[in-house]
Amino acid sequence: MKCKVCGSPTRVLETRGGDFNTTVRRRECVKYGHRFATYEVGSAPYNNLKSRAALYAQAENRRIERWQRNQRIVDDPRPSSEVAADLGLPASTVRHIRRTHL
């Protein structure tokens, strides 16, 4: 899977069973060393508490990834258009993130 921050390939550092019947994989991007975790939810139905907790963990992970990506956009000294092309995002999104400073 690709790095959520920069889109580079990633490698798995560790795989373990998480809470609520999830599989947690800690990943690192091979280019910049960005780190994040992915949570895999099994095939259990979603209408029980355990699966909902797993989905919550997944949502939280996405929130952290988004924060890291936004942080990188703000810190990147290049023009918005170059950063946008690099990350595969619309330039307007990059400008918006910079304008609002997170």
The residues binding Zn ion (CB under 5 A) are 3, 5-6, 8, 29, 32, 34
Q: Are 24 and 38 in contact (CB under 8 A)?
A: yes
Q: How far is the CB of 91 from Zn ion (least distance, A)?
A: 20
The nearer residue to Zn ion, 32 or 56, going by C-beta atoms, is 32
- What sign has the CA pseudo-torsion 44, 10, 58, 20? positive
The nearer residue to Zn ion, 34 or 80, going by C-beta atoms, is 34
Q: How far is the CB of 38 from Zn ion (least distance, A)?
A: 14
The nearer residue to Zn ion, 3 or 97, going by C-beta atoms, is 3
How far apart are alpha carbons 79 and 62 in whole angstroms?
A: 26
Q: Are 24 and 15 in contact (CB under 8 A)?
A: yes
Q: How far is the CB of 32 from Zn ion (least distance, A)?
A: 4
Q: Are 56 and 88 in contact (CB under 8 A)?
A: no
